[in-house]
Structure 1
Amino acid sequence: MQLNNFDANTVQPAGEFTALPEGTYVVCITDSEERETKSGNGHYLQMTLEVIDGDFEGRLLWARLNLDNPSAKAVQIAKGQLSAICRAVEVMIPQDSSELHDIPLCVKVKQREYEGTMRNEVAAFKPVSTAEKAPGNVSVNDSAPWAK
């Protein structure tokens, strides 16, 4: 890949990424692809979700749906997650995962430790209309009208 005269002196270095605070975020699915499991005996749907609102706008999250796995429980969980996604974006019978892209939905994000580092895990998918605001998204104008 050509770097086209890239000059690191003119670009601020990227900072350290930390896990998002636990909460509910408005996101869009921006990418999805089928991948083979590390063990080679199944496949999962890898989805990239981008936060589209609030203090963490532009941050990415990932969800893995084990739709083809020797574990019937893993497949059952993945199908339930896919059903929740479909309901959240109102695409009930998708023929391809790309049909779920670029439609706002809300995700409940939790943190969990993995190999000594805090990571995010998408715990739930909801329609935008039923979701809570993400942490840090409360506007100063969110007070009750009588509280001036």
Structure 2
Amino acid sequence: MANLNSKYDPNAESQTAFNAIPTGEYPAVIVDSDMKPTKRGDGEYLELAYEITEGQYKGRKLWARLNLKSTNSTAQEIANRQFASIREVTGVANPVDSQELHFKPHVIRVEYIPAGTEQKNGYVTDRDSNEIKAWKRLSDGVATNSAPSSAPAANNQPASPTPPWANKAA
């Protein structure tokens, strides 16, 4: 049993469901990572937790899973190419620990996958989801799917002592 006294905000709003985000490019960082065994137990994958850092979806998390050790040579080859892209965009050429990749800003290309989509392995998605398809350096530019925030242009005219409504022609 755990004592929860003063450990939470009793006025916090409940979490709403996270729907899949639109296809697009988003600035993001890796915030967590872990090597995990595959379901069959015959390999391992690197799970990378991403957090979007700007725009309408700031704070949203997405995951990439790279089958770095697999009995399926094609899956392992794809994972190694993806990992090479991640190493390149983060500037960490030869990481010894996946934590070296954390909090290095870059851009992820996210694809929206609607419910009912049949995957290459025959699995049919039961809900809308996202998949990270590509990585690029933040300096290469990013087109996000959110409206840019803009401040009103500064008025460089000197302030008039007469209020605007008093300037009406008679």
Does residue 63 of the first structure (1) align with residue 58 of the second (2)?
Answer: no
For this pair of structures, how many residues does the alignment match?
141
1:25 matched residue in structure 2:
26
The CA distance in 2 between the partners of 1:97 and 1:8, in whole Å, is: 33
Larger Rg: 2
Q: How does 1:1-148 map to 2 (within 5 A)?
A: 1-4=2-5, 10-113=11-114, 115-140=125-150
Report the AA paired with residue 65 of structure 1.
L
Change (3 A) 1:7 1:65: closer
Gaps of 5+ in 1: 142-148
Report the AA paired with residue 128 of structure 1.
L
The CA distance in 1 between the partners of 2:3 and 2:60, in whole Å, is: 27
Paired-residue identity, %? 33
1:116-140 Cα distance to aligned partner (Å, 9 max, x none): 2110100001100113221014334
Change (3 A) 1:9 1:40: same
Segments ≥4 residues shifted beyond 2 Å: 1-9, 113-116, 137-141
**Residue 4 of structure 1: how far off its partner (Å):** 2.5
Contact 1:24 1:131 (8 Å CA) reproduced: no
Gaps of 5+ in 2: 116-124, 152-170
Report the AA paired with residue 137 of structure 2.
P
